[in-house]
Amino acid sequence: MILDLLFPNRCLHCNRIIEADLLVCDLCFGQIHFTHYDYSKNNPVKEQCKLSFPVENTYALIQFEEDSLSRKIIHELKYSNREITGKILAEWTIERLDFRELRPDLLLSVPLHPKKQRERGYNQLHLYTEVLSKYYEIPFDHQLIKRNYYSKAQALKDKKHRLETINTFSLTKPITGKHILIIDDVFTTGTTVSSIAWEILNAGDNKVSVLVMAMDV
């Protein structure tokens, strides 16, 4: 296409021209720091979650170091209007995540406030969640929980304000007896997933696990 010739897709790291459905070139792919966590065992995400709420299993795809390629990838997903990045991240996750006998019953992505979603044009987690849902044959529900307040991006908040998440989320319908996998983009303090987890846990005889695209170390 003419647009592909005029504005070719380029590697996020070295700026080399690459195919339209890629984020990085083959040479730079090795610069992505995958965690290699085991979903069924202890890992840094699980240890952090356990400080705030009862959690079953956890997984993070990549490390989110300062000035890293991993950080560029997440920012591309969230702020550069490239929703397709979620599909690519989902494919990388599928290659590395094996639920085995610990499969959840439902996939639940962290919601944006409706105003924020209108501003961005999409929820950066929806396509990611839907690709995982199709591959693992686990249903998803984008409407189960809602964000009650509009706020600026977590990346623009200081640590004190990131902790102010009381009553940030609420369930839109009853749910009980389910094992729900909460999906978020970046795990930093864990307060977002903790707030959602307690809404789910307090609703009935439910269990929660956590999957994040990136772990902020």
Each of the 217 residues of the chain gets a pLDDT tens digit; together they read 544 555 789 999 999 999 988 999 999 999 999 999 999 999 999 999 999 999 999 999 999 988 889 999 999 888 887 878 999 999 999 999 999 889 999 999 999 887 887 887 788 899 999 999 999 999 999 999 999 887 665 544 455 554 455 678 999 999 999 999 999 999 999 999 999 999 999 999 999 999 999 999 6
Residue 183, phi then psi, degrees to nearest 5: -115, 125
Amino acid at 73: I
Specify the pairing of strand 207-215 against strand 58-63: parallel
- Contact assessment for residue 215 and residue 63, using Cβ atoms and an 8 Å cutoff: yes
From CA 62, how far away is CA 212, in angstroms rounded? Answer: 9
Which domains can be identified in the chain, with CATH numbers? Answer: 1-31 (no CATH), 34-215 (3.40.50)
| Cβ neighbours of residue 143 closer than 8 Å, sequence gap 6 or more | 172
Query: What would the two tokens of residue 182 be?
Result: 């909460």
Would you state the pLDDT for residue 6? Answer: 56
Token output for 82: 């490239």
Query: End-to-end distance of the chain based on CA atoms, in angstroms?
Result: 41
Q: What is the pLDDT of residue 37?
A: 95
Containing H/E element for 119? helix 114-120
Place of tokens 């999906």: 183
Residue among 197, 185, 215 nearest 56 (CA): 197
pTM: 0.89
Question: How far, in Å, CA of 32 to CA of 173, rounded?
Answer: 39
pLDDT of residue 69: 93
Q: Residue 156: its pLDDT value, please?
A: 46
**Look-up of token digits 């990549």:** 62
Residue whose C-alpha is closest to residue 172's, from 198, 131, 203: 203
